[in-house]
Amino acid sequence: TDYETILVETRGRVGWITLNRPEALNALNSQVMRDIVAAASVFDADEAIGAIVVTGSERAFAAGADIKEMESKSGLEMVMDDHFGQWSRFAEVRTPVIAAVSGYALGGGCELAMMCDIILAADTAKFGQPEINLGVIPGMGGSQRLIRAVGYYKAAELILTGRMMDATEAERSGLVSRVVPAADLLAEAEKTAATIASKSLPSLYAAKAALDTAMETPLAEGLRFEKHVFAALFDTADQKEGMAAFREKRAAEFEGR
Ligand code: HXC
């Protein structure tokens, strides 16, 4: 498939999506949304892919939704076009997704990172929800996901002031899984993704579904979900292989079934 705004590559069992609109600091216009959603769906349907990495450039992961594209829209158009609607399909990808963030992750860029399962940040990364400076609010999940990531008071301060936080503060706040030197970001992302992709695919899907459920449900309901999904994995060949490999003191060879 041809994509206009991203570069797509497969390395081993890892699918790479690199945002490529350098002239706009990777601002997320509707073509970027279509491209990312399409590429992620293709990877997600491919059992040879066990993890996806989404990254940008050194200067910007993504500087937000494309302000120039949105500026003249009416509220009615935003509703009827469902301008950001397809992003939910990206958030619903079953394959684990790593955001490798260098430079700006602002507005929709921060929200895109928060749709991923792991956020690796270069020490140059800057996160923020600056929509308040534009007379709007986060619109791709930021007001909901940021609170769940960093708690009410940090999220409220960021969303109400629009200020940016650096990688250290983002890690301390719980938004970032790990900070690495900028020069190591892509290698660390590749290593982490390859580690994940070497696991049993059904268990990865189950783990991601359980993590998502934890974000969405009361504890008792989440625990019930976990119990059922945990039990279901005992019908996979990979569970037998994983536990036999432990007993036989060798590395497991998972088949994804
Ligand atoms: C469209 C953008 C853009 C954006 C940058 N550009 N961000 N274009 N939408 N979000 C463009 C600039 O217009 C400029 O193009 C080029 O990228 C380089 O940007 P500069 O501003 O010249 O770079 P710099 O001075 O280094 O400043 C970097 C920056 C700044 C601090 C990141 O660009 C900035 O504040 N950008 C907007 C950040 C933002 O408000 N994001 C939230 C968007 S709203 P030209 O051609 O002019 O030189 C949002 C809502 C999501 O995300 C939810 C839906 C409602």
Look at residue 84 in the predicted model and tell me its pLDDT.
86
Q: How far apart are CA 160 and CA 169, in angstroms?
A: 17
Give me the pLDDT at residue 175, please: 98
> How big is the CA angle at 199 (ends 198 and 202), to the nearest 5 degrees?
135
The whole-number mean pLDDT for each consecutive block of 10 residues of the chain, a chain of 257 residues, reads 94 98 97 97 98 98 97 95 91 98 98 98 98 98 97 98 98 98 98 98 98 96 98 98 98 96
Strands, DSSP E only, in 4-58?
6-11, 14-19, 51-55
Tell me how far apart the alpha carbons of residues 128 and 110 are, in angstroms, rounded to a whole number.
Answer: 7
> Is 233's C-beta closer than 6 angstroms to any atom of ligand 1?
no
pLDDT at position 82, please? Answer: 86
- Is 27 a residue of the active site? no
Cβ–Cβ < 8 Å for 166, 128 = no
Residue nearest to atom 55 of ligand 1 (CA): 139
> How far is the C-alpha of 96 from the C-alpha of 36, rounded, in Å?
15
Q: At what angle do helices 152-161 and 142-150 cross, to 10 degrees?
A: 140
Q: Is 65 considered catalytic here?
A: yes
* DSSP per-residue letters across 188-205: HHHHHHHHHHTS-HHHHH
Spot the catalytic one: 40, 65, 91, 207. Answer: 65
Which residue from 136, 131, 75, 141 is spatially nearest to 107, judged by alpha carbons? 131
Euclidean distance between CA atoms 36 and 97, whole angstroms: 12
Q: How far is the CA of 106 from the centre of ligand 1 (A)?
A: 9
> Quick one: pLDDT at residue 1?
66
- Residues with Cβ within 8 Å of residue 128, at least 6 apart in sequence: 105, 106, 107, 110, 158, 162, 163, 164, 165
Given 56, 107, 108, 128, which residue is catalytic?
A: 108
Q: Report ipTM (2 d.p.).
A: 0.97
**Model pLDDT, residue 83:** 79
Q: What does the block give as tokens for 87? A: 């992003």
27 lines ligand 1 (CB under 6 A): yes
DSSP codes, 116-161: SSEEEEETT-EEE-GGGGGTS---SSHHHHHHHHH-HHHHHHHHHH
Looking from the CA of residue 106, the nearest atom of ligand 1 is: 41
As a whole number of angstroms, the distance between CA 14 and CA 204 comes to 14
Q: Does 138 contact ligand 1 (Cβ within 6 A)?
A: yes
